[in-house]
């Protein structure tokens, strides 16, 4: 089938913020042939960005006045209200607004307060590192990244497709579609709460009398469990604080699980061996899921395709596209591309617990 023209309309893309994510996005979009214009709160990265083919402008207002097809806010979440306030008077109707924030409900509320809700589509790339700044950016940071696009009942389908084109064709990534609440619950579980747990582990080491011995002995498991502690702590604190209620609930759950495990370990020869075994065996569905993913990748490498991940086409309707795409995500499918405005190519991946 011939693709709809709207699927290739996101040619001129503006990026507000040339930090780790914004810089990586801009550089990758240029490499994929998109016209990229960028602004940053300081001009420090402009020389390096221009050398990569990124056009840079002096003000955020200039970025909006250039009438991009998509404007991506890649600024810290705490800066969003100010950025949106500056954009509201100058952002044209032809520009679709999106962002890369890790908390979607809060951003949508701020977008609504700025009067820009009718042109907004939420987005969150599942990529990052412990480093920051344009100098740490890398177009390969987004290699194989999955994006969550978030919508509500007012999201315009044409604008959604424009952002989807930016992700799938402009960046070569896949996406799933969620509502804000589902996204924020999941992000708290797999990102925000683990940052707190990792920091607690590092704090435990710092406060130990044996900290230097422990640090010398630390190897792969410690490195993998604490990598995110190397992130700028102010950035992590802001991220966690902006999702405070979700993170607090998960930490309560985690604390209860650890307390139960501590109780099972006590008692010498009479300790609760069934409880100990149950604690470690409970995660088997996740181990099976990871093994299935690894098997898919190994078998896909020779041909460069997902040989075990079944591709299929998902038909979308004008009235039901939001729920149809959300149901697709819950089934463990990722959208690889849009063949037409109402036909998506999806890939079925393994599911936890299947």
Quick: pLDDT tens for 166-194: 999 999 999 999 999 999 999 999 999 99
pLDDT for residue 301 is more than 90: no
pLDDT > 60? residue 307: no
Q: Work out the number of other CB atoms within 10 angstroms of the CB of residue 263.
A: 12
Mean pLDDT taken over the chain: 92
Locate tokens 């009718």: which residue?
118
Q: In this model, does residue 299 exceed pLDDT 80?
A: no
The predicted model gives 32-39 an average pLDDT of 97
pLDDT at 318 over 80: yes
In the prediction, which pLDDT does 302 show?
40
For the stretch 232-243, pLDDT in tens is: 898 899 889 989
pTM above 0.85, yes or no: yes
């Amino acid at each position: 089938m011939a693709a709809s023209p709207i699927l290739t309309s996101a040619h001129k893309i503006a990026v507000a913020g040339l930090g780790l994510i914004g810089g990586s996005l801009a550089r990758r979009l240029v490499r994929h042939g998109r016209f990229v214009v960028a602004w940053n709160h300081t001009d420090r990265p402009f020389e390096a960005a221009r050398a990569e083919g990124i056009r840079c402008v002096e003000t955020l207002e200039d970025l909006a006045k250039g009438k991009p097809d998509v404007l991506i806010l890649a600024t810290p979440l705490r800066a969003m209200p100010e950025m949106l306030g500056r954009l509201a008077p100058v952002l044209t109707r032809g520009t679709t607004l999106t962002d890369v924030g890790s908390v979607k409900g809060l951003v949508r509320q701020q977008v609504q307060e700025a009067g820009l809700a009718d042109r907004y589509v939420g987005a969150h790339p599942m990529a990052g590192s412990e480093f920051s700044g344009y100098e740490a950016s890398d177009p390969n940071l987004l290699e194989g990244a999955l994006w969550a696009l978030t919508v509500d009942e007012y999201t315009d389908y044409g604008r959604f497709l424009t952002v989807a084109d930016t992700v799938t064709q402009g960046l070569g990534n896949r996406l799933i579609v969620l509502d804000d609440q589902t996204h924020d619950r999941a992000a708290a579980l797999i990102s925000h709460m683990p940052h707190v747990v990792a920091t607690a582990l590092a704090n435990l080491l710092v406060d130990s009398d044996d900290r230097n011995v422990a640090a010398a002995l630390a190897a792969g498991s410690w490195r993998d469990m604490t990598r995110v502690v190397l992130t700028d702590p102010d950035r992590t604190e802001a991220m966690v604080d902006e999702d405070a209620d979700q993170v607090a609930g998960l930490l309560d759950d985690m604390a209860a699980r650890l307390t139960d495990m501590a109780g099972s370990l006590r008692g010498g020869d009479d300790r609760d061996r069934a409880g100990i075994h149950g604690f470690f065996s409970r995660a088997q569905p996740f181990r099976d899921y990871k093994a299935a993913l690894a098997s898919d990748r190994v078998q896909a490498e020779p041909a460069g395709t997902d040989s075990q991940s079944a591709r299929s086409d998902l038909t979308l309707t004008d009235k039901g596209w939001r729920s149809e795409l959300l149901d697709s995500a819950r089934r463990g499918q990722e959208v690889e591309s849009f063949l037409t405005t109402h036909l998506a190519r999806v890939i079925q991946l393994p599911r936890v617990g299947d």
